[in-house]
Structure 1
Amino acid sequence: MASSQTLITLFIFSLVSFCYAASGPFKPPKLKAVHFTIRKNQTTLQYYTTFESGNSQTPNIIDALIDLGAPSVWFDCTTYVSSSYKRASCGSNRCKKAKGLSCIGCNSTPRPGCSNNTCGVFVYNPVRDYSSIQELGEDTMQVYSTDGRFVLLTYDVPKFQFACADSAAVERLPGDHTKGLVGLSRTEISLPSQVSSHLKLAKKFAVCLPSSSENGFGDIFIGGGPYYMPPRPEDQSLSLVTTPLLVNPAGTAQIQSDGDLSNQYFINVKNIEISGKRVAFSPSLLSFDKNGVGGTKISTTVPYTILHASIYKRLVKDFVKEAALNNIKRVKSVAPFGACFDSKTAPNTITGPAVPNIDLVLEGSTVRMRLYGANSMVMAKKNVICLAFIDGGARPTTSIVLGGHQLENYILEFDLTASTLGLSSSLLVWNTSCSHSRIF
């Protein structure tokens, strides 16, 4: 069952759509973008969205983990009821589009997720590090249009493809009432690819991860801007700086066919600076080697940024040195973090604890992602803040995995046509954030 907060939100969305319909004949505005909310579970530090699938009168309400690098949408179908659900048969065009690799059957009473001669596709649970082959199906998804400020009208996305999984696949998905996963990667059957294709939207999407859901929800925009972040009146899409999205030719995705290019999102971090001073480490770690090892990946399922050991050790050393120059007192470390401080010696500001800034210098003229205290530090216990980076060891597949904590309260726009990442400055600088209500 979905949470009461989710049901209330969806009821209000439906009421808004009904009011539009009941107000008399009108020409609806041209559809430019659709919107999904993002919630954060404070215990698991994971991000979730909610969508509706199936018959429009009695839709199935699905809470699903957001995975930026996953190839598809999948969820537990053991209680899924819909007269419009259709399975994808083996060898069909739909099966080929989803890169189905096997034909599966089921000996129980036929239902969504249990059919014979059905296309089987991989699903991957990142929490359990568990993959399985599940039934590929399709149904109508209901989505909500947006003008960048508010959620507006309901639209149907017919023949939306997803994997109809069994209860074992969703085991240990963390928090809330999560029963599946929403993939946002470059594949044809990811959420943004299918929605933009069906509704003829620009092939771009943006995420704005909230640090908390107490004061509102974060955003997934599919189709592009404008992006308004109350109380600021400006369209934030006009102030994004861009850097290229890279493709790892060797591929590091958990689920992909041999020879596929990576569908995950990589960027070119050229160096790291603390208080304007460059952190010294081997620059070769920031590039892919012949086996696809190295580079920088963006992830929504990793809570804190993970660094190659040599980068991590030097980052901690340099940060501790700069903190001392600012009279920030170091205290005993709290696992898994390597450097912790007395929070009373780092006064709180609009952008979090007053600690040295960390800049990720990116490819592009003067493009950098500045991490203020809210994104570089975490409150580990009372009066103790810690540098929110994790040691990834000496032989990680990826040298830098940018985690959710570092991405919160930034707008990240993934333009799949131009293959670029648009990046805002921290919204906290402008006295706003990624937590909003978009109901009017």
Structure 2
Amino acid sequence: MVSLSQLPFFLIFFLFTTLCNSSQPYLQLPLLHRHPSPTPTQALSSDTRRLSLLHSRSASSPIVSGASTGSGQYFVHLLLGSPPQPLLLVADTGSDLVWLRCSACKNCSRRSPGSAFLARHSSTFSPFHCYDSACRLVPRPDPAPCNHTRLHSPCRYQYTYSDGSTTAGFFSKETTALNTTAGKPAKLPHLSFGCGFDISGPSLTGPSFNGAHGVMGLGRGPISFISQLGHQFGSTFSYCLMDYTLSPPPSSYLRIGASESDVVSKLSYTRLILNPLSPTFYYIGIKSVSVNGVKLAVRPSVWSLDKDGNGGTVIDSGTTLSFLPEAAYRLILTAFKRSLKKVASLVEPTPGFDLCVNVTSLAKGSLPRLRFGLEGGSVLAPPPRNYFIETMDRVECLAIQPVDSGSGFSVIGNLMQQGFLFEFDKDRSRLGFSRHGCGLQ
């Protein structure tokens, strides 16, 4: 965990000047959802691409944006620039950098479909200089020319993903306003972000990006959205991701700042584990898994981080489905099949899924119950609707996929998280969660 004394001078200055005139103890933002929702097959395809990017690491790219495929389904609306321009960013705990699609257009009267932020139309847009200390925090292109004597030598950044997709542009700062659940916009004088002028590749230009203009990184690094607001609201944030298939859909929200005391009293906690080789991600320790109250014989090492930084389990708001180690997944699958054969008719699985059931005659409460025993003794027991997904009328499939724990990590995706309040406390390195407390406060 990075202490305040370890932060670069520019970031300390930023933290003490941003929002200095606000007395509000927290910032609460509505989380929006794409309509229409992606099909389960589309979600699986996007998640699979996302996982391949999350699992790829590069020593030359210290910040890896995990949401490049756009598989995340929850968005934050913000207004950027002077005059303000509306944008939608994926809320992503799997990345640090805030970045968005920019346009270098000089004479545009309005944004064209598919474009995003018009930097030249804002009087407050300002790229960092390439020798600014802020520029050391982002991956740079090679070569990255920089001239001490020139007034305009912007900080250039570049991400190249495992599928060949690239976002590149200027690391910049800008005036920002965010819509809050209280109805009053919150103004941020200086938001540091990547302004991407060169966007290429299938995961950033195709329909899988879900209409997002960029990514709001909520990770553990010093330039994430959460870290940038840390001095004003503290290093705690929480969210409630609600079931968007309900009609009318309940409100989801992201809260920067500590929860109220009555909410905190209802939280169960587990330790947040820091993986030095992937410091962005929020890891938790799974100790056991049970189906219908019966503990499965999964070796403890299946859940562990190894010396090379592989394995472990990440809480990720930007992945829809959940991914568990192959050894654990096969035992869960076997137990689920054994349980369901007694009460329902298994059907031919939807492509990409291993277990599907016809729920027409299934009695309420008959789907298998899954429970995760976590480090510290807490238990995460999501309802079946959090791990079964409807793939066609009256057919539901198991929304969990296997992953090779020898070369990657497990992921608790946003479907598994629905209906829970999750609170990320970076200072105390702990994750709190509860089925209560998701009402707008």
Say yes or no: TM over 0.5: yes
| CA distance 1:409–1:122, change in 2 (3 Å) | farther
User: Which residue pairs with 2:374 in the alignment?
Assistant: 362
Residues 84-135 of structure 1: CA deviation (Å, up to 9, x unaligned)? 11110012122235576767579xxxxxxxx952212344779x66344421
Q: 1:68 aligns with which of 90, 93, 99?
A: 93
| Compared CA separation, residues 397 and 277, structure 1 to 2 (3 A) | same
Q: Which amino acid is 1:246 matched to?
A: I
Question: Structure 2: which 5+ runs fail to align?
Answer: 1-20, 44-72, 104-116
Which residue among 177, 184, 190 is the counterpart of 1:153? 184
- CA drift at 1:155: 3.1
Structure-2 residue corresponding to 1:337: 353
Letter in 1 for 2:187: D
Question: Aligned-pair distance for 1:380?
Answer: 1.5
Deviation per residue, 1:149-168 (Å, 9 max, x gap): x5153332122100000252
User: 1:98 & 1:191 partners in 2: Cα distance?
Assistant: 14
| Structure-2 separation of matches of 1:183 and 1:129 | 21
The structural deviation recorded for 1:347 is 3.4
Q: Which residue in the other structure is 1:82 paired with?
A: 122
1:318-364 C-alpha deviation (Å, 9 max, x unpaired): 11222334x1332222222211111123334xxxx641210011011
Q: Contact (CA 8 Å) 1:272, 1:278: kept in 2 or not?
A: yes
Name the CA distance, whole Å, in 1 between partners of 2:369 and 2:391: 19
Partner AA of 1:130 in structure 2: S
Contact 1:302 1:404 in 2 (8 A): yes
Answer yes or no: is the 8 Å Cα contact 1:306–1:402 preserved in 2. yes
Alignment of 1:165-314 (within 5 A): 165-166=196-197, 168=199, 170-172=204-206, 174=208, 177-197=211-231, 200-212=232-244, 214-226=248-260, 235-251=262-278, 262-314=279-331
Taking the aligned partners of 2:160 and 2:433, their CA distance within structure 1 comes to 28
1:136 counterpart SS class:
strand
Q: Aligned to 2:194, which of 163, 174, 180?
A: 163
- The yes-or-no answer on 1:391 pairing with 2:426 is no
Distance 1:191 1:203 in 2: 11
Q: Which residue of 2 aligns with 1:24?
A: none
Tell me, yes or no, if the aligned pair for 2:77 and 2:179 is still in contact at 8 Å: no
Q: Secondary structure at the match of 2:308?
A: coil
Contact 1:102 / 1:119 at 8 angstroms: preserved in 2? no
> Is 1:424–2:441 an aligned residue pair?
no
Structure 2 counterpart of 1:35: 28
Give CA deviations for 1:178-226 in whole Å, capped at 9, x if unaligned. 11111100111111111233xx212111121122175243111001223
Q: Deviations over 1:282-321 (max 9, x none)?
A: 2212111111111111122222111222221111001122
Query: Deviation string for 1:46-97 (max 9, x for gaps)?
Result: 2211111112xx3111101222111110001104231011110012122235
Q: Does 1:49 align with 2:76?
A: yes
The code of the aligned residue for 2:431 comes to L
User: 2:177, 2:186 within 8 Å by CA — same for their partners in 1?
Assistant: yes
Unaligned runs of 5+ in 1: 1-27, 107-114, 228-234, 252-261
**Given the alignment, which residue of 173, 177, 180 partners 1:138?**
173
Change in CA separation of 1:175 and 1:118 when aligned onto 2, cut-off 3 Å: closer
2-structure distance, mates of 1:216, 1:322: 32
Give the SS at the match of 2:432: strand
Flag the 1:167–1:120 CA change in 2: closer, same or farther, 3 A: closer
* SS of 2:423 mapped into structure 1: strand
Give the deviation of 1:175 after TM superposition.
5.7
Decide whether the 8 Å contact of 2:315 with 2:413 is kept in 1: yes
Q: 1:268 is matched by which residue type in structure 2? A: G
SS at match of 2:341: helix
Distance 1:379 1:275, change over 3 A: same
8 Å contact kept, 2:168–2:199: no
Distance 1:270 1:33 in 2: 33
Alpha-carbon separation, structure 2, partners of 1:375 and 1:168: 34
- The code of the aligned residue for 1:391 comes to P
The alignment's C-alpha RMSD in Å is 2.8
Aligned partners of 2:345 and 2:379: how far apart in 1?
28
Distance 1:407 1:319, change over 3 A: same
Counterpart secondary structure, 1:314: helix
**Inter-partner Cα distance in structure 2 for 1:395 and 1:288:** 10
Question: Is residue 75–residue 181 contact of structure 1 (8 Å, CA) maintained in 2?
Answer: yes
C-alpha distance in structure 2 between counterparts of 1:273 and 1:65, whole Å: 33
Structure 1 contact 34–143 (Cα < 8 Å) conserved? no
* Alpha-carbon distance in structure 1 between the residues aligned to 2:189 and 2:139: 20
| Cα separation, 2, equivalents of 1:154 and 1:180 | 20
Structure 1 residues 125 and 166, CA gap change in structure 2 (3 angstroms): farther
1:284 aligned counterpart, secondary structure: helix
Q: C-alpha separation between the residues in 1 aligned to 2:167 and 2:210?
A: 23
CA distance in 1, matches of 2:195, 2:382: 39
**Equivalences, count:** 363
CA distance in structure 2 between the aligned counterparts of 1:132 and 1:76, rounded to whole angstroms: 8
Cα shift at 1:143 = 3.2
CA distance in 1, matches of 2:190, 2:299: 48
Distance verdict in 2 for CA 1:104–1:82, change over 3 Å: farther
User: Take 2:311 and 2:126, find their aligned partners in 1: how far apart are those partners?
Assistant: 41
Distance in 2 separating the partners of 1:314 and 1:77:
47
Taking a change above 3 Å as real, the CA distance of residues 35 and 295 of structure 1, as seen in their structure-2 partners, is same
- Work out the CA distance in 2 between the residues paired with 1:122 and 1:282: 41
